[in-house]
Structure 1
Amino acid sequence: MQMIAESYRGISVVLDLALDRLLLPVALIVALLGAGIIVHELLPIWGNGPVNAHQL
């Protein structure tokens, strides 16, 4: 029984480390996508929106 408990604790540590390694890249991607969406929405307000081909 003790061996099963120790194995469970070892697997738990490995899974926690794997989760930590996945959490950082996911958080960075979400932050960059959020910043991109915010900038995309603010560009027309700032007057630097996409240039229409007819305006050239």
Structure 2
Amino acid sequence: MQQFDLIAKTVGGLGYDLVDVERGERGVLRVFIDFPAAVAEEKGLITVEDCAKVS
């Protein structure tokens, strides 16, 4: 299983969609998330709390 797929499975289990993954310098891994389309309008924008939950 690819790294993207593993992260997508984990993020999906938390109730989010994985949008993108970037690997930066010094081992930094950036994970971009969003709400699934079915709940995006109801939930609004991704917050810092959502990011903390995923990290």
Identify the TM-score tier after normalising by the shorter chain: under 0.3
Between structures 1 and 2, the one with greater strand share: 2
**TM-score, L = length of structure 1:** 0.24
Between structures 1 and 2, the one with greater helix share: 1
Structure with higher Rg: it is: 1
